[in-house]
Chains A and B, each alone.
Chain A
Amino acid sequence: MVEDFDGSSVNLHMRSRYIPFASIAAAVLALAGPVHAHHSFAMFDKNRLVTVQGKVSKVEWTNPHVYIFVDVPDAKGGKTQYALECNSPNVLMRTGWKPTMLKAGDAVTVGLYPLRNGQPGGLLDTVTLPDGRKIKG
Chain B
Amino acid sequence: MSRRCLQLVLGALIWLAAHGASAAAPDFSGTWERYPDPYPADDRFPEEPPPPAGGPKLKEPYASAYRKLTQRQAEAVRKGVPLADPSTQCMPQGVPTIMAAVHPIEILQTPQQLVVLAEFLTQTRRIYLNEKMPALEDVSPGYNGYSVGHWQGDTLVVQTIGVREDVRFVDIPHSPQMKVTERLRLTAPNLLENQLTIEDPAILAKPYTFTFGYKRNPEYRILEYICDNNRYSVDAQGGSSLQVAPK
Contacts and interface: CB of A to CB of B under 8 A. Distances in A.
Contacts of A36: 39, 46, 102-103
B193 to A, nearest CB: 20
14 contacts: A35-B44, A39-B84, A39-B85, A43-B80, A58-B246, A60-B247, A63-B225, A63-B227, A64-B227, A64-B230, A85-B231, A88-B103, A90-B222, A94-B220
Contacts, number: 123
A80 to B, nearest CB: 10
Interface in A27-52: 31-46
Interface string B41-60: 11111111000000000000
A43 B84 CA distance: 11
A35 B42 contact: yes
Interface of A: 31-46, 57-58, 60, 62-65, 67, 69, 81-83, 85, 88-91, 93-94, 113, 115-117, 119-121, 123, 125, 137
Q: Report the contact-size class of chain B (Cβ under 8 Å from the partner).
A: 35 or more
B242 A115 contact: yes
A39 B245 CA distance: 20
Contacts of B85: 39
A40 B82 contact: yes
Interface of B: 33, 37, 39-48, 76-78, 80-85, 87-88, 90, 102-103, 119-120, 220, 222-223, 225-232, 240-242, 244-247
A120 to B, nearest CB: 6
Nearest to A69: B246
B87 A35 contact: no
Contact of B44 (A83, A116, A121, A137): A137
